[in-house]
Amino acid sequence: MKQYRMYRNCWLEFNLDNLENNFRNFKKMVGPDVLIMPAIKANAYGHGIVPVAKVLEECGANYLGVGSVDEGITLRENGIKMPILIFCSNLIQEVADVYVEYDLIPTIISEEAAQAYAAVAPAGSKIFIKIDTGRGRIGVNAEKFPEFFKTIKALDKLKVEGVYSHMAQANWPDAGADYAMWQYERFAKALAGIGEDAETIPFRQLANTPGGIALPEIRMTGVCPGRAMWGYSPLSKRAEHPDLQAPLVAWKSRLAHINEVIGGKFGDNFAATKLTKPLRMGIMVGGISDGISKKIANGGYVLLHGRKCPVGSSISLEHVILDLTDFPDAKVGDEIVIIGKQGAEEIPYTQRMQEWDLPIPKIWTDLNPHMDRLYYRHGKLWAATKDKVFYPLDAK
């Protein structure tokens, strides 16, 4: 393993104690008998799939739900032993052998896929079936489920470990729980259609973050929270949600260069850097490619020396130009905060969401995996990642 060093001065900091607390609070909410499968697709919504999986495995999550076989392989190669479900992103017929090799659980939604998997998988291999109850996207139609289940059962090779479905309304029940209840009824009817066999399926799940928090009626034996793990509750009207806190605590940078622009005809000489007056410019590491919005150039600011430092001009792929007029003491190497606290000032991620017009989860998934990510646990630096490579840093 190569030794970890930070080479590029634009990085993210995570407090994984918050993730741990979010998981434990969510577990308390849903009760000890409900199985939990955190959804950690899309690089754990940008939070870094390997460190997140390690924490959740340690906390006692029952399954992990990931978006691709590649993510599943990454987790196995980094020592994750717990059951991993792949949501749905390939034709099982073409990659069934890889599911077997890495012990990944496939989502089965067609007879062809079931047959192809049964042909290569050891007897008793676990599968999940996804049913569509009203999201109108992926899954066996709820009304067709009993017949589909019979077909799978007849293969006599695969163990149906889970049946799951996805909520159609991202932020209900603020929007009203009627649709959710209708989805639940379709789900319940589909399960009733297989009689006593339903009880042999350990993980039966429809509830996501808001469902898990606010609608005990639909929890069944499992829940699949995504956003709750990242400290976000989409519910505004219900009080009984746990105390969720964002594991993403800081996005930082440093001054790479200071440029006293003193001569020339501004605006013409500097075709890309539009200035109306001579300027002391600070060049900050980090730009559009890292996930910083172009909107930051329209009157936006970052924190420097514990104060607001305005953006001075355009933003490019890997840099932002700051206006250092009011920072005569600023020097190369000084720390900058894009998200987080500095001195008495703070820019929460929710402020960036508003300023940059980025909804959840895009504010997180826009964070480029190439940025260094530093992970803290119990007040100590514990690990780092860059380009999804995991570097353990605890001194054990």
Ligand X SMILES: *Cc1c(COP(=O)(O)O)cnc(C)c1O
Stretch that binds ligand X, among 2-10, 172-180, 221-229, 296-304 (CB under 6 A): 221-229
Nearer residue to ligand X within complex by CB, 67 or 310: 67
Note whether 247 binds ligand X by CB under 6 A.
no
Single out the segment in contact with ligand X by CB under 6 A; choices: 19-27, 176-184, 220-228, 384-392: 220-228
Shortest separation between residue 178's beta carbon and ligand X, angstroms: 18
Q: Answer whether 160's CB lies under 8 Å from 121's CB.
A: no
User: 30 by DSSP, 3-state: which?
Assistant: helix
One of 14, 23, 63, 87 touching ligand X (CB under 6 A): 87
The tokens for 41 are: 């697709």
The single residue among 48, 226, 242, 247 that binds ligand X, judged by CB under 6 A, is 226
- Which of 15, 18, 208, 233 binds ligand X (CB under 6 A)? It is 208
Q: Is the distance from CB of 129 to CB of 162 less than 8 angstroms? A: yes
Rounded least distance, CB 11 to ligand X, Å: 25
- Asked if residue 146 has a cis previous peptide bond (ω within 30° of 0), the answer is no
93 and 116 Cβ atoms separated by less than 8 Å: yes
Question: Does residue 224 bind ligand X (CB under 6 A)?
Answer: yes
Q: Are strands 35-36 and 222-223 parallel, antiparallel or unpaired?
A: parallel
> Which residue's Cβ lies closest to ligand X?
226
Q: How far is the CB of 339 from ligand X (least distance, A)?
A: 20
Per-residue burial over 267-291, b = 16 or more CB atoms within 10 Å of its CB, e = otherwise: eeebeebebeeebbbbbbbbbbebb
Please report which residue ranges of the chain form alpha helices under DSSP H. Answer: 16-30, 41-45, 49-59, 69-77, 92-101, 111-120, 145-155, 178-192, 209-214, 349-356, 362-365
Scanning residues 98 to 127, which ones bind ligand X (CB under 6 A)? none
Q: Which stretch binds ligand X (CB under 6 A): 177-185, 218-226, 281-289, 365-373?
A: 218-226
Q: Which CA distances in Å does 34 have to 24, 275, 330?
A: 13, 59, 54
Name the nearest CA neighbour of 335 among 306, 312, 301.
Answer: 306
Burial of 173 (0-12, 13-18, 19+ CB in 10 A): buried
Interaction pattern, residues 29-58, with ligand X; x per rule: CB under 6 A: ----------x-x-----------------
Nearer to ligand X, 168 or 275 (CB): 168
The nearer residue to ligand X, 70 or 323, going by C-beta atoms, is 70
Smallest gap from Cβ 191 to ligand X, in A, equals: 17
Q: How far apart are CA 264 and CA 262, in angstroms?
A: 7
Nearer to ligand X, 9 or 68 (CB): 68
CB of 334 to ligand X, least distance (A): 37
Helix (H) or strand (E) holding 268: none
- The residues in 148-167 that bind ligand X, with binding defined as CB under 6 A, are 166
Minimum CB–partner distance for residue 174 and ligand X (Å):
13
Q: How many residues contact ligand X, by CB under 6 A?
A: 10
CB of residue 304 to ligand X, shortest distance in Å? 34
Residue corresponding to tokens 């049946």: 163
With binding defined as CB under 6 A, does residue 227 bind ligand X? yes
According to the binding rule CB under 6 A, does residue 133 interact with ligand X? no
Residues of this chain that bind ligand X (CB under 6 A): 39, 41, 87, 166, 208-209, 224-227
